[in-house]
Every structure is written in C-alpha cells, then in structure tokens.
Structure 1
Amino acid sequence: MVHMVSRVNDGFDLYSELVEGVRDAAAARRFIRRFAARYASPVVAGDGCDQEELRAAEDRLGFPLPVALREVYALIGRRLDLTRSQDLLLAPHRVSVEEAARVLVFRWECQHVAEWGIPLSAVTESDPPVVSRHDGEQVWHPFLDRVSLACVEMVLSEWLATGDAFGANLHLDDETVALLESQFRRLPLPDYPRWADMPPVRWFEGLGAVLREDAGTWLWVRAPSADAITAVQRALPGDWSTDEV
C-alpha cells in the first residue's frame, strides 16, 4: 500500500473549502477536485464516465439524468476510491427506477441493505433532493436537500473508508462525544441521517485528521499520517481499533 504524504502547507483548509463547496453544484464539483488532489490523487481525464455511456443510460431510462448527478458521473464516475470504497455509486448502466416508490436509485450500501435515490417527481430539477431507505423499508426518507451535497458526502465517506491513509475507529459514549465536540472543529456539512429515526451524522476535523461521528455511537477517523491518528487517540481516550498499515 502506498501511503499519502501530508501536505500541510498547500493552502488547503478543509473547513473553508467545505463552506464554499456546499453552496451549489458547481462549487461541489470544485470541492471534489480540490479534496481529491489534497487527500487522494488529482482528478484526471478518464476518471469520469464518457458521454456515450451517460447517453446510453439516459436512453434506457427514457429521461435525462439530473444535471448535478450527470456532471459528477462525468467527473469521477470511474474513481473507485471516491465512489465505491465502501458503498457503491452505481455505474450508469445500473442506475434504475424503483417503480413502487417512483425513485431513481443511484447508490447502494455495500451489502445492499440501504439505497439512495432521487424522487422521480424531482428528477427534472438540476440539483434535486436525495432520499434513502434501509433494509427493505417501503418508505423512503429525506437524506440531503441536493444531489450535489450527497456527492460531497459520498466522496468524504468513501475516502474515509478507502484504506489509502491511516485510519482508526472507536465506539462512542456520552463523555467521548462531549470531548469530541469541545476539542474538534465541526465541519460545515449539513446534518443528515445515517439511517431513518437515528441521530444525525456529523463531521469534524482537528489534529491533522478528519472524523465522522455516526449518530453518537461510532467514530471513524482518517489522516495522512500515523502521528495524526495517535494525536486523536490521545485526545479521545478509549478502546480504539486501528487499521493495519
């Protein structure tokens, strides 16, 4: 495994980049490019799905993909590390309509116990809302207000799971959550549910690491260096599990 080199003087500030990146679809794509260059590898020609592939998907569906989703496919649709490390951005030929609920499904949880999609009632919007459902539910629940936000979340979450950096995770209790809130900076990604009827997922940063708190129960951490992981573990004592490196 090739580990990333920390580039602390490259002028990239994750908080500031996200403030801009969540504004609209174009800003989200700029964020994805800049995040990939900083934390993974730069987006290059060939990382996206080609126009023929996207048109074929649209011909099969019988309608155009929403612009914001189509442009993310064109940007990074073939970047496994940013779209399919844990959960799966479906290849264009696998995007489908769930007929009962009238939802365009574009992403699955890795074991297909959850799905993300766009209501067909909003599919003509350029940046429509995203809904999700878990473990065979019939009802779809609100996830994020715009597909561009869901793609930012996807890139962050898939990078968090990718293994191309140092990582660790920890079962949380109330005391550790309080420490997390007091010692790390909350990132400006809107709250969203991991699954329905659960507290929201929240993102933090600090000590050179990126942290995701899942519904107050579990914490996932990834960083470009082992030293950053160690610093987080010292700040948040507990029974940590650490990735093999």
Structure 2
Amino acid sequence: MTDRFDPIRLTDAAARGQFAVERFITQFASVWVASSEAGDGYTEAELAAAETALGVRLPAALRTAYRLFGRRDDLTRTQDYLREPPRLYLDDEDRVLVFRTENQNVTWWGVPVHSLHLDDPPVVFRLDRLGGAAHGWGRWFDRLSLACIEMVLSESLMSGEVDLCDNRGLDDAAVTVLERRFSRIGLPDYPLWSIPDGPPVRWFVDTDVLLRDDGRQWLWVRARTHEALERVRRALSGDWLMDAE
C-alpha cells in the first residue's frame, strides 16, 4: 500500500457510503498499523452462531467489521474492547445490542434493537461514573460504519511503538495552534464519553501524524516516523508525557 495514503480524502469519502468505509479501514491499517492477513476476521458460521444465541440479526456494518478485522486486537482491543461475537449481549432492558466496552467497564457502546434491521444503524453509548448513577443511552454516531472508523483510529493511537506515540494536556493557546497548524479529517465530531456534555472529540492530521483532541482537554498523537512526532512536539511545545528530553 502506498505511503501517499490520505486520511483526509478517505474519511471524507467514508461519509458517503459503507464501501468507502471498508476501503478506508483496510488502507489505513495497511499503511499505519499492519497489512491485512487471512484470519483477521470471524467467519460467517461464527457470526451466525452469535446471532442464534442472541436471537437477533447483526446489522450488515457490524458483520462486515467482524469479518474484516474482528480478530485484530491492534485495531479493536488495545485500549477499549470490541466484544467477540460470543460475548455480544443485550442490555438489561433488551433495548441495546452492546458490542464494545471501555477498558474499565464504565462505558458501553451499542446499537438500539429497533435499528438492527438497518444495514448501517446509529450507535449509542452509556456512561456509568465508576459506580455512580449511570447516564441513559446517548447518541454516539449516526452510522455504525463511522463508529468503526473511530474505533480503528483510536485503538491505533495505543497500538503503535511507544516512541511513536505521545500525549499532553491542552489549554486555549495549544488548541489555537492545533486548529491553525493541522487539518481536520472528515469524521464528524462526537461526544467525549467521559464528559458527554462537554466539547466534542475532534481528529486532526498532518504528514505522517494523527492527532485526537479530547474535548479541548487532552491531545493524543500517533506518528509514523520519529521526525513527524518531533514536528508535532515543536509546533505544540509543552509538557509531552512521553518526551524524555
């Protein structure tokens, strides 16, 4: 896969259809993480068995994700957790099919049962503040395929070589530099699950680097080269947690 892979162009295209989403994830994984191989996904028989156990049909977008990369921990289970098909479940009220879990089990993502007939249904999430009162289910993305892009991008932030990743707090000055210096990718803004009523999550890109802005509070960076990471650190000078200098 060519090094000229363009996250901006492909995520814009992804907003227009599920096929483009599949293409984006395949090309992104090949260039930024590792190329696809046989055995990366679950078989139709395994997905059918999960459907039989649940008593519901999985939407096409979720089936596609499991078939393409459902066994790829580097794309699905580095920080938070795409549930294996046998571990999919319906919530206590049988209203939501839960397919992803936050790493401390305080947030869950799922598809409303009444939307399972759609090929690319909306995704909702629910937050339990570490044993406190749980929030109701809130909208995450309008399309599950876009939630899959978000999952792959987010998990890739944590799955690369340690010296190609970094993170730091944000203040108003750093946010201003981020917005001026880096380009947005075509993924819609979405809630920061830990502070759902605050500013949204936004993604930025530059040559060989991806950046995730968590609610104007924290910045995560994944680079393909050490030079690209150093460019980000220079552009956004401050207390980078992984910078040994």
Q: Count residues with an aligned counterpart.
A: 237
| Pairing partner for 2:146 from 142, 145, 149 | 149
| 1:127 partner amino acid | D
- Match of 1:211, SS? strand
1:14 aligns with 2:7: yes
1:44 aligns with 2:41: no
1:4 aligned partner: none
1:163 aligned partner: 160
Structure 2 stretches lacking a partner, 5+ long:
none
1:214 aligned partner: 214
1:92 aligns with 2:82: no
Is this contact kept in 1: 2:99–2:109, CA < 8 A?
yes
| 1:205 partner amino acid | V
Worse-superposed segment, 129-138 or 150-159: 129-138
Is this contact kept in 2: 1:98–1:105, CA < 8 A?
yes
| 2:151 partner amino acid | M
Relative to 1, partners in 2 of residues 1:10 and 1:207: Cα closer, same or farther, differing over 3 Å? Answer: closer
Alignment of 1:193-208 (within 5 A): 193-195=191-193, 196-208=196-208
- Match of 1:118, SS? strand
1:59 aligned partner: 52
1:242 aligned partner: 242
Shift of 1:20: 1.2
Could you tell me how far apart the structure 1 residues matched to 2:167 and 2:119 are? 36
| 1:216 partner amino acid | R
2:21 aligned partner: 28
Shift of 1:101: 6.0
| 1:33 partner amino acid | T
Relative to 1, partners in 2 of residues 1:68 and 1:215: Cα closer, same or farther, differing over 3 Å? Answer: same
Shift of 1:163: 2.9
2:177 aligned partner: 179
TM-score normalised by length of structure 1: 0.93
**1:3-34 CA deviation, whole Å, 9 max, x = no partner?**
xxxx9x63311111111123222211111101
| 2:109 partner amino acid | W
Moved over 4 A (4+): none
| 2:143 partner amino acid | R
Worse-superposed segment, 203-212 or 116-125: 203-212
Relative to 1, partners in 2 of residues 1:243 and 1:25: Cα closer, same or farther, differing over 3 Å? Answer: farther
Relative to 1, partners in 2 of residues 1:226 and 1:11: Cα closer, same or farther, differing over 3 Å? Answer: closer
2:107 aligned partner: 114
1:75 aligned partner: 68
| 1:206 partner amino acid | D
- Match of 1:161, SS? helix
Sequence identity percentage: 48
Is this contact kept in 1: 2:123–2:143, CA < 8 A?
yes
| 2:185 partner amino acid | L
Is this contact kept in 2: 1:207–1:231, CA < 8 A?
no
Could you tell me how far apart the structure 1 residues matched to 2:160 and 2:205 are? 18
Could you tell me how far apart the structure 2 residues matched to 1:140 and 1:36 are? 30
Relative to 1, partners in 2 of residues 1:99 and 1:40: Cα closer, same or farther, differing over 3 Å? Answer: same
Is this contact kept in 2: 1:167–1:243, CA < 8 A?
no
Worse-superposed segment, 119-128 or 156-165: 156-165
| 1:94 partner amino acid | R
| 1:168 partner amino acid | D
**1:119-139 CA deviation, whole Å, 9 max, x = no partner?**
111111110000001126240
1:139 aligned partner: 136
Could you tell me how far apart the structure 1 residues matched to 2:240 and 2:207 are? 17
1:3 aligned partner: none
Could you tell me how far apart the structure 2 residues matched to 1:88 and 1:132 are? 14
TM-score normalised by length of structure 2: 0.93
Could you tell me how far apart the structure 1 residues matched to 2:236 and 2:143 are? 33
